Structure 1
């Protein structure tokens, strides 16, 4: 797909994206770790709410 930018603008964009602050190596996304974290938080909050309900009543 051809660029809709002028050659000068495309050159500036390429220069901007090649700057060191835009070349950060990132770890791969791990959806199972995120799911495990969300599940742990939900279970933890559920246990806290049950504990509080027993203390109040």
Structure 2
């Protein structure tokens, strides 16, 4: 896709994006941690809902 910027503006954008500020090393994304967190949240909220229902219906 061709850039819609003028060449000098595109050069400034590329310099900004290539600066050391934007070269942060990150850990690899772990899908299993996200999946476990979602399952844990659903399980925890389910238990909370059952507890609150027991309080209301008792």
| Alignment gaps of 5+ in structure 2 | none
Whether 1:53 and 2:53 are equivalent positions in the alignment is yes
* Matched residue, 2:35: 35
Q: Which moved more, 1:34-43 or 1:22-31?
A: 22-31
| Alignment gaps of 5+ in structure 1 | none
Whether 1:17 and 2:44 are equivalent positions in the alignment is no
Residue 8 of structure 1 deviates from its aligned partner by 3.7
Give the TM-score, by structure 1 length.
Answer: 0.76
Query: Over aligned residues, Cα RMSD in angstroms?
Result: 1.8
Q: Which moved more, 1:36-45 or 1:21-30?
A: 21-30
Q: Which moved more, 1:10-19 or 1:21-30?
A: 10-19
Equivalent-residue separation in structure 1 for 2:52 and 2:8 (angstroms) = 64
Equivalent-residue separation in structure 2 for 1:7 and 1:56 (angstroms) = 67
